[in-house]
Homo-oligomer: A and B are copies of this chain.
Amino acid sequence: MPPNRTDVALLALIAAEPRSGYDISQAVDRQLSHFWNESFGNIYPRLKRLHESGLLTRDTQRQEGHPERHVYTITDEGREALHSWFHDAIQPQPPRNELLLKLFFGRLSPPGVLTAQLEKYRAQRAATLAQLEAIRDMLRERARSHPDLRWWLMTVGAGIHAARAAVEWADETLATLEKPEDS
């Protein structure tokens, strides 16, 4: 039985360095958020299960005043599972693009509404593009000799290409909407 997607994400994060549930949540939000997400209520039970099935070990750190901190480390068995995941075929997530759904049925829409939706979308994607370009530049400067640099640049690059394409498409589409129907 292939491990589920949350499990492998947790395994990879912990394989890179030992972490607690809280650490993982932070790391996802700070470093993976443009292509991955995990919710609190899912992380903790999953870590528990991974620990129980021997893919992780747990180290409880007691600190005065603070609640206990459970730091997880990957085991050899966990590393094996991680390695086989890298080989596994990628399971594409079923597409659900609500903007495209609205556009497809655009004829049924009240006039003007979809133009507004598209403009908002365009703005969001342009903002993402700028943000990712800034991250890319920052990485090239400050992480010049980090062993993960090339891998990080790849994922940022994916976001940049996608965002750029989205902005171009939105502009093209908005231009079409301005023209009369019989163009």
- Footprint of B on A, CB under 8 Å? 5, 8-9, 12, 15-16, 31-37, 82-83, 85-87, 89-110, 113-114, 117, 120-121, 147-148, 150-155, 157-158, 161-162, 164-166, 168-169, 172-173, 176, 181, 183
Contacts and interface: CB of A to CB of B under 8 A. Distances in A.
Given A110-B87, A121-B90, A97 B154 contact: no
A113 B91 contact: no
Q: Is the interface of A mostly helix, strand, loop or mixed?
A: helix
Contacts of A153: 176
Contacts of A86: 102, 108-110, 113-114, 117
Contacts of A33: 95
Given A37-B96, A90-B98, A106-B154, 13 more contacts: A5-B98, A9-B101, A12-B104, A15-B108, A36-B101, A83-B109, A83-B110, A86-B113, A103-B158, A104-B151, A104-B152, A161-B166, A162-B169
Contacts of A150: 106, 176, 181, 183
B101 A35 contact: yes
Nearest to A169: B161
21 contacts: A5-B96, A5-B98, A12-B104, A32-B101, A35-B101, A35-B104, A36-B95, A83-B109, A86-B114, A90-B99, A90-B121, A91-B98, A92-B98, A104-B151, A150-B181, A153-B176, A158-B169, A161-B166, A161-B172, A162-B165, A164-B165
